[in-house]
Amino acid sequence: MKTLISSDVRLLANLIQEGKVVVFPTETVYGIGASTRLESACLRVYEIKGRPKDNPLIAHFHSIESIAAVCELGDVGRALLERFSPGPLTLILPKKDKSLFPKELDTLAVRIPKSPVVREWIELSLGPVSAPSANLSGRPSLTKLSDVLRYFDGVVDGILIAEEPSFGIESTVVSLVGKTPVLLRPGSIESNELLKILPDLWIPGSGSQKETDSVPLSPGTKYKHYAPTARVILASKEEFEFSLKTMNESKSTAWIGFSFEEIELNEGNKLGNLHPIFKSDRFCFVSSNEDYASKLYAFFEACDFAGIDTIFCEVPKLGKGEEGLRNRLEKAISS
């Protein structure tokens, strides 16, 4: 198949209207989208990804009003979108327009991507655009155009060229359909911020409420996710530094973390800045949790591509940006 690779939002919007499948960047990760109004187009997304059919898609909108037109938004939903959108927040809402994909569900996951270019494309597509992350099911999400081209050029109808993802991990997902709002997936918008608008937010795993039914609340959470083929080891600062100091010649191990600069290498040098030995693709230096999140999946992807078999990931710093990053790292070690 010939893939239209272009930054022309109008051409790529035409593809969506025609029932075609388009990969596009968002501020979190790349998505692989089709019109929410065309079931057969959405089903092709499942086929291309190898995604289980019971895992619904997020519908991407260009504005709050376009969401309110098809879902029960309510005051709280509106307050959340006004505070955090456009941006990496997905809400699960009761659906008003029952014709939207997936028809068998009476709820819809909605989100407004940050990029004005992407929002213009969605509007021209006569959106919404339903899209999961653009990756093969079970693999980490993609955050680099070069990786997207490797997997999807020749496989999808179009690839929209726009700003690359900057957050690097998928959106925070909050369900507003039950009695209590629930954090279904942590992300860059953190629970301490959400609690200001949703003081009764249930954060599963925090022990704040009955850990009721172990039934996954969001179908997606029961599937293997976010993991590279390589084995991931979550290492404390000490373990990370120790593994670097004692590394051998073998090229099959890689590292991502903060603590490269102060490593005393075997020669006994205390290094103020990055030693030349670390200037290889097997070492990924990060300066903050946010920087870490933005580099993580692309690093996983590069490591698998290079045939690395073990990746040491340093634990995130306490505080800002920790919640979503820690969640993805824990998923990567438990799969």
Residues 83, 85, 87, 88: what is their CA dihedral angle, to the nearest 10 degrees? Answer: 80
Among 55, 166, 243, 310, binds ligand TXA (CB under 6 A): 55
Among 36, 85, 133, 175, binds Mg ion (CB under 5 A): 133
Q: Which does 90 bind (CB under 5 to 8 A by kind): ligand TXA, Mg ion, none?
A: ligand TXA
Non-local (6+) Cβ contacts of 230 within 8 A are 254, 300, 303, 304, 308, 309, 310, 311
Residues in the chain: 335
The answer for 319, left when phi > 0, alpha when psi is -120 to 50, beta otherwise, is: left
Non-local (6+) Cβ contacts of 85 within 8 A are 64, 111, 112
Helix residue ranges per DSSP H, the chain: 9-17, 39-49, 64-68, 74-84, 116-124, 145-152, 191-197, 237-245, 289-305, 322-334
Q: Quick one: which of 217, 173, 179 has its CA closest to 194?
A: 173
Question: At 281, which amino acid appears?
Answer: D
Residues 257, 262, 265, 267: what is their CA dihedral angle, to the nearest 10 degrees? Answer: 160
What part of residues 263-322 is at the interface with ligand TXA (CB under 6 A)?
none
29 is a site residue for ligand TXA (CB under 6 A): yes
Q: Quick one: which of 307, 313, 137 has its CA closest to 225?
A: 137
58 is a site residue for ligand TXA (CB under 6 A): yes
* Residue nearest Mg ion (C-beta atom): 133
137 is a site residue for ligand TXA (CB under 6 A): no
The distance of closest approach from Cβ of residue 103 to ligand TXA in the complex, given in angstroms and rounded to an integer, is 12
Among 128, 158, 168, 220, binds ligand TXA (CB under 6 A): 220
The distance of closest approach from Cβ of residue 24 to Mg ion in the complex, given in angstroms and rounded to an integer, is 14
26 is a site residue for ligand TXA (CB under 6 A): yes
The region of 13-21, 56-64, 151-159, 293-301 touching ligand TXA under the rule CB under 6 A is 56-64
133 is a site residue for ligand TXA (CB under 6 A): yes
The distance of closest approach from Cβ of residue 93 to ligand TXA in the complex, given in angstroms and rounded to an integer, is 8
Q: Which does 92 bind (CB under 5 to 8 A by kind): ligand TXA, Mg ion, none?
A: ligand TXA
The answer to whether the Cα torsion of 310, 222, 167, 302 is positive or negative is positive
92 is a site residue for ligand TXA (CB under 6 A): yes
The distance of closest approach from Cβ of residue 15 to ligand TXA in the complex, given in angstroms and rounded to an integer, is 17
What is the DSSP pairing of strand 158-160 with strand 129-131?
Answer: unpaired
Q: Which residues bind ligand TXA (CB under 6 A)?
A: 26, 28-29, 31, 55-58, 88, 90, 92, 105, 107-109, 111, 131-133, 170-171, 173, 184-185, 218-221
Q: Which residues bind Mg ion (CB under 5 A)?
A: 133
